[in-house]
Structure 1
Amino acid sequence: MARFCSEFFIEYYLKIIGISLLMFLVGCQNKDSNTEVHVNKTFNGVLTAQEASVDIPGFGNVDGLYLYSFRSRDGVESGPSFIPEVWALNPGDFLFYELENRLPCVPERPEGTNGATMSETNVHTHGLIVSPMNAPDGRYGDNAFVKVNTTEKQAGSVQDCLEITSNDMHHHHAKQEAPSTSIPYSIEVPVSHPPGLYWFHPHSHGVSQQQVARGLSGLITIGDIWDYTWLKCQLFGEGTDNPCKSDKEAAEESDLRNKTNVDFIVLKDLQVERGPGESWHTVKWYDPGYCGEDEYPILEGGVCQGQNEDKSDDGIERKWLFTVNGKLLPSMTIPNDTAQIFRIANVGATVTYNLELRYGDTLLPFQILANDGAAVGQDADSGLVSKGDLVLFPSARLEIYLNRGLICDALGDDCNGSDIAATLNVTKWECPDGDPTSCADLWPIGKIMDINIEGLDPSEPLQPAGAELSVGITRLETIDKPLVMSSSLCSDGSQPGAPLGKGEFRTIAFWNGDVNEDETFTMMTDMTPRNTPIKFDVPEQMTSEWLSANKFDEFDHDRLDLCITAENVETWVIHNISDEYHNFHVHQSKFSVIEISEHGDMTRDTSPNVLHDNFPIPPGSWIKVKIRFSNSVAGKFVYHCHILEHEDKGMMSVIEVVPSNVK
C-alpha cells in the first residue's frame, strides 16, 4: 500500500516448536505535529496499567491517575503518560504484547454496578475489525471477557488482591487462563482492514467508566491518512477513484500534501479535587454531574468548578479539566500557505462534545473526510463541507480538512491577508424537543483550544479534498444474494438465528429508568425476523414484570442474547425507548445507517457511503442499520451503549457469530 512517508517494515518470526516469537513493527509518522501527540514506531513488549502522577500543562501536577506505560522487547521504555504514544499499524500487522496490571488494589465496585472491581482490567481495541478469539498459541485476541487482577496488595494487607476480591481473574467465556500477572495478546490486523483512526481502552465490565475517566485510553492508527485521502488526485498505487493523470499532477499533489499539516486532537476530561493542605488528585468516583446539573457549566481556561452533591461548602476544592492532547487550553498555529487536517477523537468515558470552530461570530467551515475510522467516500466536487457543529459522543472519531479558501470564503471582508485568531469551542446542543435538559446531561461549555491561522488571502483556491470509500461498503449491499447457512450450533446448544430475507430485520432496544426506586439500565434483543417494527407499549410507571415480558435484561456474561451466522448481511432496527440519549456500538465490525426515525439524530451522516462503529439515538427514536460479520471475526463479543456509565450499569449484550459454510 502506498505511503506518503517512509515505508513500513515488519519482521516477525512465528513460534512453531521451541522457537520464540519476535516481532518488530516500525510505523511511519505524520508530518511533524505541533500538538505533540507522539507515534509509537514499535509495538512488541509489555503494556502496563498503573497508578501514577502527571503534569497537566496549564494546570499542574495531579496524583492518582490510571495510566499506561510501555516497555519494548529491546528494553526501550516510555513512562506513564496521560496521552500515550499512538499505536501505528498497517493492514497485515500484529499487535503482540502482554498487559501487566499494576493498578492499586481497590476491591470495590462503583455504585449501581455488579461487574469487576477497580483492581481488574483488560484492553479492547475499539473499532478494529479483528478476531475476538484466542490465537493458536493460547494468547488472547480482542476478547472483552478476559480480565486480570492487579499484582499490587491492598494497603495494610499481606493478601494478594485476587484473594481479597474473591473474584475469578478470568470471567466467563475466557477460553484459557492467562498467567496471573498479565494477559498475553496477539491480534492480527487483516490485510483488507480499512485504514483510519481507532483507539484502545479498558473493557472490564462495571469499571470501564471509572478506569477510562482516570486516564486509561489511547489512539491506534491503521495505515496512513493519505491511503484514503487526497487533495487533487491520488498518487500511484493509492486508489482508482481519482488517480493523477500525469507526472505534473502528481508533483502538484505531493507539493500540496507537503503544505498540509496532519495533527491529532485528543479529547480527554479529568475530574480532580483537593482538601486543605493536599495536592490535586483524581476523584474516587467519576460523576457526570460534577459541575452541576441545572444549567450548562461554563469552562474558564478549560476548567469548570466542581461541587459536592448537596452543593454545600465542605472545604474541598473540585475542578473538572477538559484537556486537548493532555493540555489545558493549548494553542497551535496554521502557518501561511498551509492547509490543515485534524484527526479528532473523543477518548473519554461519558462526555459528549458539541464542537465548533469559530472566529468571532463566524462559524468556520470544514470538510469531513472520515468517520469512526472509515473514509466517507466522496470526490473533490462533492465533499461533505459543514459550517455546523461536530458532535462527538464517547468513542467517536472524526477526521476533518480545513481548506484555506473555504475559510476565506466564509470570512468575507475579514479575509484580507492578515492572521485570524480562531477558537475550538464546546457549545450547547439541543434535544429533539428543544429542551436541552430533557434527554442528556448538561456538559460544560466554553473554549478548549486556540487556533491561529496565518495570512489568509482572498486568492486562496476553493479546493475541497477527496476521500476514497473505505473497503467493506459494497459488502453490505449483498442482501439479494443467496443466504449463507451454518452447520455450527451456538455455544449454548441453540440454532443460530434464521437468515434474514429481503425487507426483514431483527430488533434491539435500549431502556433505562427507575424500577422499585433503583435506576436500571437494560437492553433487549429479538432474533425473530420481522418486516414491521415492534410496538412497545410503554407504561407510565415501569415495572420489573413489564421488563421481563419484553425481554429487557441487564448484562449477563453467561447469557447469549444474539447468535447469527457469519457472512450474511444483517439488518437491525435499534430502538431507544428511554428518556435520554444512548450511543449504539458493536464490536468486531462496522455498520451503515440506512434509515432513521422522526426526531432521530441528524448530526451524524446517514449516507450509505458512511460506516460507523457507534451512533447516537435520541429518546423515542430508532435507527435501521446494515451490518455484516465475516468468518474472520467469528466468536463471542458484545454490543452496547458506549456511554460507559450506561454500559457499566448493564446496558450491554452478548453476541455470538458462528462460522458459515463458505470460505
Structure 2
Amino acid sequence: MPFPQPAVARSRPGHGPTVPSVEQTLDVRFTEVTVPGHGRITTRAYNGAIPGPTLRVRGGGVLRLTHVNGLPPNPPHDGGHNIPHHPNSFNLHTHGMHVSPSGHADNVLREFAPRTARQVAAGGPEPRYTTTVHVPAGHPAGTYWYHPHLHGSTAEQIAGGMAGVIIVEGDVDEVPEIKAAADIVVCISELKVKDGKVPAFTSGNWMTGVPSVFTVNGAVNPTLQLRPGAVQRWRLVAATAFTSLRLEVAGSRARLPMHQIAQDGITFPRTVTLDRLELAMGNRADVLIRGGTPGRYELRADGVSGALMTIEVAGEPVVPPMALPTALPPGRPFLNEQDLTDPGADRKVLFHADQGVFPGTFPNAFRILGTGATPPAGPDADLTRDPAYGLFDPGYVNHTLRLGTVERWTVRTDETLPPHNHPFHLHTNPFLVTHRNGRRLDPPVWHDTVGLAGGTPGDSVTFLARYEDFIGRTIAHCHQFHHEDLGMMQTIDYVKR
C-alpha cells in the first residue's frame, strides 16, 4: 500500500494584474472515517478526510478559501467564555504564517457558525464563509498548517483531526539537493476516540482514561519506502492538541539521522544533524532523511506506544548516494540585543495552573500571569480562586505591540511534572529564541511555537520579536488546547508606532 499523502491544492496562475491564487473549499461536517484498530469513527473533518487538503502557495500569492459549515446546530450554552462551548462553530488559523490577523484573513476572532435549529427546520442552506489571505512576496518558504481556532471549541475539533498543511514554496525548494529529494508531508494527528466518536468536552477531566490515537496522514503506522542512498524531505507537522513529540528514526541495530533544514517554516543557516528532534504541539520541522543500511526502521516518539510510521529501506541502492546540501538560502535574519527598542522593558510571562479552585465540572484555573496579566475580579480576595485573574478576557488587551519595535520576552512555566507542557504560541510574527533555561543558544532559532515542559524548575525561554507589517487584534496562548479553551490565552493588539 503506498504511503498516504493528503490531497493537494496548488496555485492557479494569475493573468495580467491578477496574482496566483489557491482556491479551495473546506467543507466541515460529521464524517465517518476508518481508523485502524478502532474501526469506523464519526468526527468533524475537512472534506471528509484526516488531514484536510494540503495548500501549496508562493510568496506574493493568495489563499482564497470557502468554508462550508455542514455541522448541526450548537447546543445551548449558559456558562462563561472560558467554559467549552459552540462545538459546531469554527474559524481558520493559518498557523505560523506572517499574514494579516484582521478582516477575512487569519482572523481567529471570527465565528463560522452552523445553521440554527430554526434554519434547519425551514430548510435553509448550509452557511458559507470566506477567508482571503494575501501572502507577502518575501514570506519565508517552508511548512505551516491550518486548523480551527474558535475559543471554546478548538480542543474538541483538533482531537477529531481537523487540521491541514500549508506549504509556502520558494527559494529553499530550488537548492539542487533539496529539489532532487522526494517531498513528503508527514502530518501527525492525535485523535481522542471513545465509543466511535470524539467525546464532548463537558468536564475538566474530559480526557481521563481516553488514550490518544496517533495517525500519520490519517493512517495508523503507515509504511514508507526508501531506497538505500536516496534522500527524502519530510515535512513533519505536530498537529497534536495535547502531546509533545520527541522523535527518532530507529531500527533494531541502527538509526537514520535527521538532517534538519528548517524549524516552524523558517530555513536554518545550515543543516543540523540530529538523532532526536523535539516538536511541541503545533511545531513543524523540515528534515532530510537518507536511506542507510537496508532494514525496517520506525519513526518513534518518547511516551507514545508503538511506531508513528514504519520506514522500509530496501531496493536497488542509489549509487553514488544522493547528496545533502552544503549551503542553504538565508531564511530570516537574526535579531540581537542591540536591536531592542527599549532594552529595559522586557515582557515576562508565566504559565500557571491552580488546581481544584472552582466549583462545578471545570475546577482548574489555567492562567497566564506576569506582564499584561488579566486583572483579578476581586484583587483583595484569594487570587488562587479569582475567576478572572490571568484568564482570557475577550474585552481586555493584555499586550499592545507597536509595529517596527523589537522586544524581549521571557516565558516560563511553574509546572513541576515534566510531562505537563505549555507551548507558547504568538500569532502573526515569529520570534527568535535566544536562551533556554538561561543558556544562550548558538545559533538562536526562529519559532512561532515553543514548548515549555514542567520540572523543578520548569522550562523557561527568552526570545526577541520584531512586530512587522500588520496591525489588528489577535492572540498569544498555550498550544495545549485543553488549557487554551479553559482560559490560558491573551489578547494581542498590533498597532502602528
Could you state the TM-score of these two structures normalised by the residue count of structure 2?
Answer: 0.84
Matching residue of 1:655? 492
Listed as ranges, the matches of 1:191-590 within 5 Å are 191-224=137-170, 227-228=171-172, 234=175, 253=176, 257-258=179-180, 260-274=181-195, 280-285=196-201, 307=209, 320-378=212-270, 383-387=271-275, 389-404=276-291, 407=292, 415=293, 419-428=294-303, 444-454=304-314, 463-466=323-326, 468=328, 470-474=330-334, 476-477=335-336, 480=338, 500-502=341-343, 504-514=345-355, 516=357, 518-526=363-371, 545-546=382-383, 552-579=389-416, 580-590=420-430
Q: 1:612 and 1:504 mapped to 2: Cα distance?
A: 22
What RMSD, in angstroms, separates the aligned Cα atoms of the two structures? 3.6
Say which of 145, 148, 161 aligns to 2:112. Answer: 148
Q: 1:581 and 1:128 mapped to 2: Cα distance?
A: 23
One-letter amino acid matched to 2:266: A
User: Which secondary structure state, in structure 1, belongs to the residue aligned with residue 483 of structure 2?
Assistant: helix
User: Which secondary structure state, in structure 2, belongs to the residue aligned with residue 507 of structure 1?
Assistant: strand
Say which of 90, 104, 120 aligns to 2:89. Answer: 120
Listed as ranges, the matches of 1:619-634 within 5 Å are 619=454, 620-630=458-468, 632-634=469-471
User: Which secondary structure state, in structure 2, belongs to the residue aligned with residue 125 of structure 1?
Assistant: strand
CA contact (8 A) 1:354 1:391 kept: yes
- CA separation of 1:81 and 1:592: change in aligned 2, threshold 3 A: same
CA contact (8 A) 1:358 1:425 kept: yes
Q: 2:77 and 2:254 mapped to 1: Cα distance?
A: 46
Aligned length: 470
1:281-317 Cα distance to aligned partner (Å, 9 max, x none): 333349998997xxxxxxxxxxxxxx57xxxxxxxxx
- Which one has a bigger Cα radius of gyration? 1
Q: 2:423 and 2:327 mapped to 1: Cα distance?
A: 26
1:389-423 Cα distance to aligned partner (Å, 9 max, x none): 2222211111111134xx4xxxxxxx4xxx21111
- CA separation of 1:420 and 1:192: change in aligned 2, threshold 3 A: same
Q: 1:426 and 1:282 mapped to 2: Cα distance?
A: 23
Structure 1: gaps spanning 5 or more residues? 1-6, 15-21, 26-42, 70-79, 135-139, 162-178, 235-252, 275-279, 293-306, 309-318, 408-414, 429-443, 484-499, 529-542
Q: 1:634 and 1:261 mapped to 2: Cα distance?
A: 38
CA contact (8 A) 2:421 2:453 kept: yes
CA contact (8 A) 1:638 1:653 kept: yes
CA contact (8 A) 1:377 1:609 kept: no
1:41-69 Cα distance to aligned partner (Å, 9 max, x none): xx32532221111233x447524210112
Q: 2:409 and 2:76 mapped to 1: Cα distance?
A: 37
Query: Higher strand fraction: Structure 1 or Structure 2?
Result: 2
1:552-588 Cα distance to aligned partner (Å, 9 max, x none): 4110111010112111111111121233321010000
Structure 2: gaps spanning 5 or more residues? 1-9, 374-379
Asked if residue 52 in structure 1 is aligned to residue 31 in structure 2, the reply is yes
Asked if residue 90 in structure 1 is aligned to residue 54 in structure 2, the reply is no
1:427-483 Cα distance to aligned partner (Å, 9 max, x none): 23xxxxxxxxxxxxxxx3222211111269798669542463554324x34x546x8
- CA separation of 1:649 and 1:359: change in aligned 2, threshold 3 A: same
User: Which secondary structure state, in structure 1, belongs to the residue aligned with residue 161 of structure 2?
Assistant: coil
- CA separation of 1:290 and 1:158: change in aligned 2, threshold 3 A: closer
Q: 1:219 and 1:119 mapped to 2: Cα distance?
A: 22
Matching residue of 2:5? none
Listed as ranges, the matches of 1:26-45 within 5 Å are 43-45=22-24
Q: 1:335 and 1:111 mapped to 2: Cα distance?
A: 56
One-letter amino acid matched to 1:447: A
- Provide the identity percentage: 22
Asked if residue 65 in structure 1 is aligned to residue 43 in structure 2, the reply is yes
One-letter amino acid matched to 2:13: I
Q: 1:610 and 1:364 mapped to 2: Cα distance?
A: 23
Matching residue of 1:592? 432
One-letter amino acid matched to 1:228: V
- CA separation of 1:649 and 1:544: change in aligned 2, threshold 3 A: farther
- CA separation of 1:624 and 1:337: change in aligned 2, threshold 3 A: closer
CA contact (8 A) 1:229 1:467 kept: no
Q: 2:218 and 2:349 mapped to 1: Cα distance?
A: 37
CA contact (8 A) 2:229 2:322 kept: no
CA contact (8 A) 2:230 2:318 kept: no
One-letter amino acid matched to 2:55: W
One-letter amino acid matched to 1:643: Q
Could you state the TM-score of these two structures normalised by the residue count of structure 1?
Answer: 0.64
Q: 1:202 and 1:90 mapped to 2: Cα distance?
A: 22
Say which of 71, 78, 89 aligns to 1:103. Answer: 71
Superposition deviation, residue 100 in structure 1: 2.3
Q: 2:460 and 2:123 mapped to 1: Cα distance?
A: 47
Superposition deviation, residue 363 in structure 1: 3.1
User: Which secondary structure state, in structure 2, belongs to the residue aligned with residue 144 of structure 1?
Assistant: coil
CA contact (8 A) 2:156 2:198 kept: no
Superposition deviation, residue 504 in structure 1: 4.2
User: Which secondary structure state, in structure 2, belongs to the residue aligned with residue 228 of structure 1?
Assistant: helix
One-letter amino acid matched to 1:222: V
